[in-house]
């Protein structure tokens, strides 16, 4: 704690620098949970240091990703529940870099807030730390910035940045994908962190927030709010296990843009992922969104993950092994389609 650092004038302008110091002290216990072999120093300096684990790699390549949680943060603020949104911030980054075959090494977060309430900031970072633990990444630093006048005192936004590593020869190469390969789905935990602007419009969250807290039979007795705030599933450890056992030809993280935008990103020109809609295990929350908002099916699949958080392409001969590995690592994994000739990138039939 910096006992000699205090500015009454800055505090009068809306920024309490001592609150920032207290927030750092509160979050240190969370950060300690994420330490791994690459960590070199403690949080609190001007930069986070990390020693690269390159032993056994012929040509190590760093893979980075950055993202935020979108307007899902608004729901966390409305519910005054801040201990899981950090998982989403980590997930959106590490789930992206694993699509290249990279193992996450470390993560940094950035929190902008209207007012720094140390306990709230520590809760947010606690969620970030949990996401790091789930993905094997170290939380080696971050930044909290008070923005009075730019955003209301109760508001905040959260973003993050992850770095991973992979041997160059092991970077996933979709040029080896061929007709007849199989598309495997990894089930999502819910809406994850995309499409919340539409969610808020459909359920009129900004004007009628009380409707979120009523238990809903279609959601198994859970409230809409509880269901929507479910953290994004992190697939890192199960996918790393899969890469050790199976010839994976392509991975897509199903985020904003849904099936139509994300699946084609791992499919080479001249081939298309033909998805059997009947095989997709659509979660009840998506049926509720579509029904409540009268959203066309095409728009739903072009906005949400629909219950599929990640798609993985493997040879037909290795499907059973892939499913065994993924299920042994806690995933609800199943076939949803095939690779066929075509230029669309993805078609739903």
| Residue closest to 84 by CA, chosen among 37, 54, 124, 27 | 124
Name residue 113's beta-bridge partners.
146, 156
Distance of CA 75 to the CA centre of its chain: 16
Paired residues of 138 in beta bridges: 106
Tell me what pLDDT residue 249 has. Answer: 97
- Structure token digits, residue 122: 């520590």
Residue-level pLDDT, tens digit, the chain, 349 residues: 455 666 676 666 666 767 777 777 887 888 888 888 888 766 556 788 888 989 889 999 999 999 999 999 999 999 999 999 999 999 999 999 999 999 999 999 999 999 999 999 999 999 999 999 999 999 999 999 999 999 999 999 999 999 999 999 999 989 999 999 999 999 999 999 999 999 999 999 888 888 888 889 999 999 999 999 999 999 999 999 999 999 999 999 999 999 999 999 999 999 999 999 999 999 999 999 999 999 999 999 999 999 999 999 999 999 999 999 999 999 999 999 999 999 999 999 9
| Of the candidates 269, 251, 242, 263, the residue with the CA atom closest to the CA atom of residue 325 | 242
Q: How far apart are CA 228 and CA 199, in angstroms?
A: 9
* Per-residue model confidence (pLDDT) at position 211: 82
Tell me what pLDDT residue 144 has. Answer: 93
The CA-CA-CA angle for residues 100, 337, 330, to 5°, reads: 60
Q: Are 316 and 180 in contact (CB under 8 A)?
A: yes
The pLDDT score that the predictor gives to residue 15 is 65
pLDDT at 157: 97
Q: What is the pLDDT of residue 275?
A: 98
Q: What is the pLDDT at residue 62? A: 97
The span from the CA of 147 to the CA of 152, in Å, is 9
pLDDT at 208: 87
β-pair type (156-167, 60-68)? antiparallel
**Listing from the earlier edge strand, what are the strands of the sheet with 333-341?**
250-253, 308-314, 182-187, 333-341, 271-275, 346-348
């Amino acid at each position: 704690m910096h006992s000699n650092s205090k500015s009454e004038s800055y505090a009068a302008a809306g920024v309490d620098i001592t609150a920032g110091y207290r927030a750092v002290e509160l979050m240190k216990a969370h950060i300690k949970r994420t330490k791994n072999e690459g960590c070199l120093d403690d949080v609190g300096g001007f930069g986070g240091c990390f020693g690269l684990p390159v032993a056994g790699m012929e040509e190590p390549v760093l893979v980075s990703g950055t993202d935020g949680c979108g307007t899902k943060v608004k729901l966390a603020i409305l519910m005054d529940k801040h201990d899981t949104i950090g998982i989403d911030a980590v997930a959106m980054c590490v789930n992206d870099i694993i699509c290249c075959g990279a193992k996450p090494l470390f993560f940094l977060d950035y929190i902008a807030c209207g007012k720094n309430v140390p306990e709230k900031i520590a809760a947010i970072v606690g969620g970030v730390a949990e996401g790091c633990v789930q993905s094997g990444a170290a939380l080696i630093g971050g930044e909290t910035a008070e923005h009075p006048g730019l955003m209301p005192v109760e508001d905040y936004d959260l973003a993050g940045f992850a770095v991973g590593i992979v041997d160059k020869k092991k970077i996933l190469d979709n040029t080896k994908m061929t007709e007849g390969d199989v598309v495997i789905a990894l089930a999502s935990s819910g809406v994850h962190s995309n499409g919340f602007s539409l969610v808020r419009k459909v359920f009129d969250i900004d004007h009628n927030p009380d409707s979120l807290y009523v238990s809903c039979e279609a959601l198994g007795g859970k409230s809409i709010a509880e269901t929507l705030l479910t953290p994004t599933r992190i697939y890192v450890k199960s996918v790393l296990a899969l890469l050790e056992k199976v010839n994976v030809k392509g991975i897509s993280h199903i985020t904003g843009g849904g099936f139509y935008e994300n699946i084609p990103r791992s499919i080479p020109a001249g081939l298309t992922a033909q998805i059997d809609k009947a095989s997709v295990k659509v979660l009840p929350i998506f049926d509720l969104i579509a029904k409540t908002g009268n959203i066309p099916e095409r728009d739903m699949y072009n906005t949400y993950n629909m219950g599929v958080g990640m798609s993985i392409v493997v040879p037909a001969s290795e499907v059973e092994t892939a499913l065994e590995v993924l299920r042994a690592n806690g995933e609800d994994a199943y076939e949803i389609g095939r690779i066929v000739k075509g230029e669309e990138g993805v078609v739903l039939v």
